[in-house]
Structure 1
Amino acid sequence: MQRNVKIDILDQTEARIMYQWIAEAGWNPGLHDAETFYKAFPTGLIGVKKDNELVGVSSVFKHSPRYACFGNYLVKPEYRGQGFGLLMTRRRLNIAGYRNISLDAAPENQAIYRSVGFRTAYFNQRFEINWQHAPDKLHPNVINLKNVRLLELLEYEKNLFPCKRKALLKAWVTQPGSSAFCFRDHCHIKGFGVLRPCMTGYRIGPLFADTPVIAEHLMQALLQHSLGQPVFCDIPETNPHARHLVHSFGGQPIDFLCARMYRGYEPDLDYPRLYALTSLESG
């Protein structure tokens, strides 16, 4: 390690700086991502400092003893190419230990992750939807997620995420300014989705549904709370119905394609029910 260089866990003030950088980089984080991720993973945001100046940031979210996710990888432009990013990645690998690890890598970062053992599983494409239609009556089975117990959501998504993520899900569905809906049929959850405010417009994620029709009902409910602003969502190529869904609402792909990579193994998930990722930063 270079002299006068250290890696620290970020405090809340530094976490806000981190997400300011991410916004300036054009990644369009949620307005409350800093507080939400800090609440769920208080030791999960890390930074590299040179002479006590924060020069790079990243995250390692330990969802369970067997699974972790890397994200939020960014080095200030004037410090790139000097090894700071690799220092953070090595530290994150040390923190994650023997866990299976996932991340979503931008094209310029995929080579460095391959060099430390990550392999590409598939790609996620970001779409933009501009929904200007007047509010319509929701399907009677679509209800506010506030009326659903957290344990029910965790049980529903057990084949949609590699592990139970109680800390993140609890913080995620209660973000200020967010809208969240569930599709319930005969007391059983058949899908749910969350819309959260971002630096630009809103982002939908996750969006899980048992069928394309249920996904459509949930998407309609979420879009009606977007206040006419652009809505973004990250769609896995593993579910062709997801692409068809966003196209049916006028969605178009934008120049934001990331590779889902794993260091370990690709989990056996129920991809036909996964219509939009929670976020690229959290798996």
Structure 2
Amino acid sequence: MDFVIYGNTQLSPCMLIMNASPNIRQYSVEPLYANNERIAELLVGKCVARLQPNQKLAYKCWDSSEKSQAIAIKLGLSEVVRMWTMYTKKLVDPAHIDKAFCPAKAYQILEQVRKLQLSDCGEVHEIRESVDWPTYIHDSEVIMNIDPNGQYVAQDIDTGKLLGYLCGVNITEDLAYIGSYCVRPEYQGRGIGKALWDKTIEHLGDRNLGLVSSEQNTFEFYRDVRNFRYISDRSVIVMAGPLTPNPQLIDNIDGISLVSIDGHNVRDVIEYDKHVSGLDRSVLIESLYKIPENINLLAIDDHGHVMGYCFINEKNMRLYYVEPLYADNERIAELLVGKCVARLTPNRRLEYKCWTSSEKAQMIGTKLGLSEVVRMWTMYTKKLVDPAHIDKAFCPAMHEIWGSVGWSRYIHESQVIMNIDPNGQKTVGILVWGKHHYDLAYIGSYCVRPEYQGRGIGKVLWAKTIEHLGDRNLGLVSYEQNTFEFYRDVHNFRRVILMAGPLTPNPQLIDNIDGISLVAIDGHNVRDVIEYDKHVSGLNRSVLIENLYKIPENINLVAIDDQGHVMGYCFILETINGVYSVEPLYADNEHIAELLVGKCVARLTPNRRLKYRCWTSSEKAQMIGTKLGLSEN
């Protein structure tokens, strides 16, 4: 039997299954099952009557069913294509094909593999839960900030349903991690996982790839088929169980004080973490201690030196996990974790990870009343990667991939505040904020749908956000005169010039400077650029810069003197609407700044629209904008 598809642009369907193809939005009748053609026609006719006119409709039927084809013709549809059903062993037909007027597409899933979008995050959590994986709040959003192109989903192109997910994140020029490889159980065995894997590996390239495996069959598969042949002699033991008080836990140590991590000591914790892990995880630590639900303690000796620290974090299933727990010795580690868990209510379920090579760490888990539930192997494709001081890592940071590189401060320190229209179930307003420091915060994305403006929604959003931000120094950006005056006069914000225009070549731009070389930012010099940025901005923006230079569409240059010192750097970024933006442009003087931006814009095709921001107080910066042919907006 042939499979006939009818369609035109006049009507809409019965089951109201929307086609989620990126290029076509349509409705599909499937399934339409009935005891006879009159009931089938009644059903689909009444369903169609509920829809707006002029929607695109797809309707499938067997070529053997003239009655079903007659229904399609009555709907005003015409044949567009025929499809054949094919099998490798035997034919499979509905048990009562005479009642299948428009069969369901259960036998065939046409999927596309694409990059994850923010709107997919909720459904990705559903996929993880469908395979009994615990999910961490904001997993996907965090990874997106570390590697914007590192997450992929498989999507049914007809229904829009997400079927599978895999993330592969580039950490450095030669290291990447893979995790969260999952496909909904009912769609497994159809090649969806392989398609996700192939797309992810294409993104990761020739880096050393790492992953964690906890099951023997998947361990052997990754080792033998995917070539993860570098396997640590140490595996990770996962211990878990209900928290039970134990009076035998160490209660105090002479010369050791425990305090909470705060803005005054967090830099010391970060330096200690660098020493133990061998990585710069400043964003991770700064994010963790600011999340009010997290429990933390820091161990300090009589000289004020950090001797260890511990975090207890909450998963989305009311499960708490110790991660990380770093300390100079097992007694300090036991003291830290014991005092942290004492802050939890009894019978909470706790998870604790430790290396098989550390009997001392395992003993702490046993004292907490936990027992082993699973072991995990760390596997790599080229070489093993271990913490710099593994003897101090009593409970390593195994929080998927981002635990090793830090979290984006804009995810865990930002909230989205929404007002919901109770009738339409629609978001009508949003205000996003970010706490960057204990005395600094920024406000942005302040917007209300036009049809809901003037109803006090914005005022409610503003008041709630200001309540949270407290007495910090608040910053924002405004480019319209009326909003500028409003923030200045009403909300006490005490201006940045935005210059824009089509890019026009200017031969008067500085072409070279003796003793200054320009090179692209790469894995060899990015740390120097980060240190220079810290010096200029006073902030640690390592994740920002490491993300920016890895995006191939971005243009960048760094200026270096004869001694190899960074003298400035520049990025040109493409915005969503195709406009290019110069940001940031930092330099020791205006000549280097002009050289950097001039050479960067020279790589753009002519007549591209360019944006450039500068302070009203800097005539030199404004002059560069003028030389670029831009004018103040």
| Alignment equivalent of 2:220, drawn from 111, 115, 118 | 111
Superposed CA RMSD in Å reads 3.0
In the alignment, which residue of structure 1 is the partner of 2:122? Answer: 16
Q: Is the 8 A contact 1:102 1:260 kept in 2?
A: yes
Task: Give TM-score, length-normalised by structure 1.
Answer: 0.84
In the alignment, which residue of structure 2 is the partner of 1:187? Answer: 304
Q: Is the 8 A contact 1:5 1:48 kept in 2?
A: yes
| Alignment equivalent of 1:130, drawn from 208, 222, 242 | 242
Structure with greater contact order relative to length (CA < 8 Å, sep ≥ 6): 1
Change over 3 Å in CA distance of 1:211–1:62 after alignment to 2: same
TM superposition shift of 1:79: 1.9
TM superposition shift of 1:138: 6.8
Q: Is the 8 A contact 1:40 1:167 kept in 2?
A: no
1:97-108 mapped onto 2 (5 Å cutoff): 97-107=205-215, 108=217
| Alignment equivalent of 1:68, drawn from 168, 176, 188 | 176
1:263 has 2:381 as partner? yes
Q: Is the 8 A contact 2:273 2:281 kept in 1?
A: no
Q: Which protein shows a greater Rg?
A: 2
How many pairs are equivalent?
281
SS in 2 for 1:48: strand
Task: Give TM-score, length-normalised by structure 2.
Answer: 0.40
1:197 has 2:282 as partner? no
Query: Which amino acid is 1:207 matched to?
Result: L
TM superposition shift of 1:217: 1.3
Hey, what's the Cα distance between the residues in 2 that align with 1:75 and 1:43? 20
- 1:124-177 deviation per Cα after TM superposition (whole angstroms, max 9, x unaligned): 221114334399977652221224655544432335446334444444444451
TM superposition shift of 1:28: 2.6
In the alignment, which residue of structure 2 is the partner of 1:234? Answer: 353
- 1:252-274 deviation per Cα after TM superposition (whole angstroms, max 9, x unaligned): 112x3322111221124322211
Hey, what's the Cα distance between the residues in 1 that align with 2:318 and 2:305? 34
Greater mean alpha carbon deviation, residues 127-136 or residues 228-237: 127-136
1:78 has 2:186 as partner? yes
Greater mean alpha carbon deviation, residues 243-252 or residues 153-162: 153-162
| Alignment equivalent of 1:276, drawn from 377, 395, 412 | 395
Q: Which runs of 5+ in 2 are unaligned?
A: 1-107, 405-633
Q: Which runs of 5+ in 1 are unaligned?
A: none
Greater mean alpha carbon deviation, residues 90-99 or residues 102-111: 90-99
Greater mean alpha carbon deviation, residues 140-149 or residues 96-105: 140-149
| Alignment equivalent of 2:161, drawn from 53, 59, 62 | 53
In the alignment, which residue of structure 2 is the partner of 1:5? Answer: 111
Identity across aligned pairs (percent)? 20
In the alignment, which residue of structure 1 is the partner of 2:330? Answer: 212
SS in 1 for 2:307: strand
Hey, what's the Cα distance between the residues in 1 that align with 2:190 and 2:275? 41
Query: Which amino acid is 2:313 matched to?
Result: R
Hey, what's the Cα distance between the residues in 1 that align with 2:264 and 2:200? 35
Q: Is the 8 A contact 2:300 2:307 kept in 1?
A: yes
Query: Which amino acid is 1:156 matched to?
Result: Y
SS in 2 for 1:141: strand
In the alignment, which residue of structure 1 is the partner of 2:257? Answer: 141
Hey, what's the Cα distance between the residues in 2 that align with 1:125 and 1:246? 10
